[in-house]
Structure 1
Amino acid sequence: MPRLFRGSVILLFGLFLSCFFSPAARALEPLGPVSSYGMDEYWYWPNYHPSVESALGALKNLQGKVVGWQGSYITQWDADAYGLRALGTVVEVQQSGLFFSNTVQVPQVESTVIPFEEVQGLHLVRLFIDRQFTFGVRCDLKSEMKMFRVPDYGTAAQVFNALASLVAASGRLVPYPTLGAYFRDVTEKDLWIPGLKEAKGMIVTGVMIGSPAQKGDLRVRDAVVSCNDQPVENFAQWSEQIKPKAASLDFKVLRKSSPPAVCHVVLPPGDLAPRPPQGLAFAAAKGPSTAQSPATAQTAPPVPEGAVPPKLGFSLRYPSEAEKKILSGRTAAVIVEISPGSLAEKALLKPEDILLECNGKTIPSPEGLGPLLVQGENVLLVMRNGKEMTVRVGATLVSY
């Protein structure tokens, strides 16, 4: 009897563990917010998109690669002059019972909203919470932080560039780092550092990967006591009186296990700082009678009255998943078929050609090509078999 009893207990305990820790149950669990996890930050300046359509199209091309705030894949992106809205579906797991449990899939719509007027900063970061989504873009808002997570650095850079472009298009100016380090004032609790005798100076609390600060060997927990041969009293005094006048910074630092060191940091020239291109803006909303939002006006610009888009003689589709990988975040449209005797056929365009640009402007989608066409000759940037080429297509005054 005792053996039978022990065997029953072991069997029940095994069933209990299998219900809670089965691979299927683990796979359905949302990853959850990341505010309580550590992260490294990269020193990164944005490459701005030329237009709102290009930035929003780049995000749409990354579907299946971007995870939202609560752990769901983003399936829909929408933006206007007021903010960005990313929608996805997260599946929650509900379990009940002490020894036996049921796994219930409960779809919940996740919405990650970024109000542009509240954006204080954008950061490209590396996370330590998941093996698959190890990079992300952190959006610092006035009262909270939002995060988009992605599998690799390149995808994170694409998300960062698109978000920075949309924020800039809204008229919001977001500062980007030059030195690439974070500081706090020295306190009495820091006087254990060898050579630090009074509560003056700054403590390095963070150094961005790839930043001028990292290249100059500035390290976390360094105590900065002077800069460019001037004593550092605190962060405010350094940032107002020393840093603005300098093209390079020589930090004298004290370290726990090393003798005092001088870290020479060369700052990037001010004229290299990123600036949004002219024309990067959401279209102004029309009058009350039209009731057209800025997003609608920007993503589908109306053809001027009396002007008819030219007909080139082909039909288009969105890029496939394989083509999206080749495009690496760029937006485009793919030719499905070409009408016999059309201008497209005469220009030697072929089905499966990927159209990247029209007259120097990025093609955001198949529907977005029409507004880019002009009467007369149109210049297309085409990708065929992985190679890009320029194709000139004549046009006539007929409908597109």
Structure 2
Amino acid sequence: MLHVGSAGLRSRPMRVVLSALGIAIGIATMIAVVGISSSSKAQLMRQLDRLGTNMLVVSPGEGMFTGEDVKLPKDAVGMIGRIEGVEQVGATADLKQSVRRSEKISEDETGGITAKATTEELLKTLRGRVDRGSWLNRATGRYPSVVLGHVAAQRLGITAPGQQIYLGDRYFTVAGILDKLPLAPEIERSALVGWTGAQRLLGFDGHPTAVYERSSDATVSAVRKVIGSTANPENPQNVEVTDPSSALQAKAATEGAFTDLLLGLGGVALLVGGVGVANTMIISVLERRYEIGLRRSFGATRGQVRIQFVTESLLLSGLGGVAGVILGSLATGVFATAGGLPWVVPPWAVAGGFGATLVIGTVAGLYPAVRAARLPPTLALLAV
């Protein structure tokens, strides 16, 4: 039956290619959409696994009265560190001084870069990495040295440690440049000065602006309930607690938001391909009336004729399905490789796409098969 069903395909290769192309485009679109979405989501989940979802950020909230200056207590970092379940604590504080490449640049031209005082534990708490140079320690944190976020370094034109920037009224030596920090974009645009050095050289008052804490996964909820009142026991209502990983989690959750829409477009392309297969099969029946009549006159039943043309339709759509799966997987691979993403093509997408082609092939071949089976042998032979 496969030999007989494939006879029509072998005799008209160009028509087969053009008809299967519609199926292939539809399946390739669906596979590529699902694969690209899955690859992007896999990358986000890897980031979440590496960065963790167990970090909270404590910052001053809004005061009860407009214009009220709300600050966290100076000992907020130590108090938060004593909460049961808290493993690491780091803090930053906004400084008033502007960050410039040199003193010849106006103070108003900040380039969106802010100066921050930081504790030594900040980088470990954020699970960040130094791209070039070194992080601040007890020695460098006391003197005019600074670590730049990678965005701040780009905007200042700093390419290597050892160069200098103008902060406040003096030059600071760049000790290091940080790698990207997805959970702390505000740090990426900052120039970080040691906590002690900021107090000695820049008039820092010691009040933290943001306290970053990381706890065990099992105690995140419990820590969140008490961290506000612990950071500021006198005015817990003036404390804001946020989860920086929620943005990545939301992005991962919405990664497939447009997948359904794009899958619908792929489904339309697949439907159009199915219509093309049906049209090809109908034309094939009209062109092969003599063949049908000859087979019937030699004793072929209507059922055998129907199976022949349904088989041909299935083979035609199956070829398109295989080509579509290959093209869609390759498109996903190219996108993943170009973007540095893991190459993920879900097996259910491949199985579902190929299964859809078989359903389309069966439906598209039914009417032409029934029409061919109903053709009387005498009329088919007479038409020739």
Q: Same fold (TM over 0.5)?
A: no
| TM-score normalised by length of structure 2 | 0.20
- By percentage of residues, which structure has more strand? 1
| TM-score normalised by length of structure 1 | 0.20
- By percentage of residues, which structure has more helix? 2
The structure number with the bigger radius of gyration is 2
